[in-house]
Amino acid sequence: MTSTSVQSPSVAPAVSDVLQLSGPRPARPNALSTSLSFGWRALLKIKHVPEQLFDVTMFPIMFTLMFTYLFGGALAGSTEAYVQFLIPGILVQTVVMITMYTGLTLNKDIEKGVFDRFRSLPIWRPAPLVGALFGDVVRYTIASVIVMVLGLILGFRPQGGVVGVVASIALLLLFSFSMSWVWTMFAMLMRTEQAVMGVSMFILFPLTFASNIFVDPSTMPSWLQAFVNVNPISKLVTAIRGLMAGTVELGDLAIVLGWCAGFILIFGPITMRLYNRKS
């Protein structure tokens, strides 16, 4: 009687063994790389839904042409004269107005449950929010370029040259990035994107129209001048007009940078607290 040897079946290696054999664990991504990844995600969403660029392409053109030809002759005697005053202001209005779409986009992601997954990832906690804001900075840049190109076509000639224009756009992007933290806070507080839009418009309309964007505040009633003179949008417009004219005062820049720091230091922590507690 011959005995047959029974070979034990081969056992598949454990998953942990495979991972150990494949090499060392990759380093945890840092805050900047993670935020840039989420910024790229925001840009990819625009690629798949190009209609999202409508507000940064059509709105700047519409606002610039409408205010130039509706009010130019009445306020400055001619559109050519008015455009020298208007373009820095309309540049600010255009970009600041579209910052509210940051809150709308984030609120939509939250309602879909996407951010529940983000919170479970081993990444820097604010990365999804900061990355979304980075992606929006690209949209703000596109809108700024469109306004400036259209302004040059209409006859705007900045005395500060290219340096003044680039510095103005950089300051505007910094201010818009900082102010966007206000809308991210509302995205966490409101239950629908329609509510976020309503609150954002309620805040933005007085800030942009009760300012020095369209007319000199000296023509306004004294009670309105008091508000216009402390309005952060007016401070930003004054600084940008100075940069583009080559006559900017350091005090104006310091005030705008102070507003930027205030937006981030106040609304950033509030947003993160709401984000961490969001269910």
For residues 205 and 233, the answer to whether their CB atoms sit within 8 Å is no
Asked if pLDDT for residue 8 goes beyond 70, the answer is: no
**Residue 23: which pLDDT band, with cuts at 50, 70 and 90?**
low
Pairwise CA distance, residues 27 & 145, whole Å? 38
- Which pLDDT score is estimated for 1? 46
pTM, to two decimals: 0.82
> What six digits make up the tokens of 113?
């449950």
The pLDDT confidence band at residue 25, using thresholds 50, 70 and 90, is low
Look at residue 9 and tell me whether its pLDDT is greater than 80: no
Q: Which residues contact 91 (CB under 8 A, 6 or more apart)?
A: 144, 147, 148, 151, 168, 169, 172, 240
Which phi-psi region, left, alpha or beta, contains residue 121 (left: φ > 0; alpha: ψ -120 to 50)?
beta
pLDDT-above-90 percentage for the chain? 42
Q: Give the residue among 217, 223, 265, 260 at the shortest CA–CA distance from 241.
A: 217
Q: What is the pLDDT of residue 21?
A: 47
Q: What pLDDT is recorded for position 231?
A: 95
Contact status, residue 159 vs residue 244, Cβ threshold 8 Å: yes
State the pLDDT at residue 11.
47
Q: If you average pLDDT over residues 237-254, what whole number do you get?
A: 94
Q: How confident is the model at residue 115 (pLDDT cuts 50, 70, 90)?
A: confident
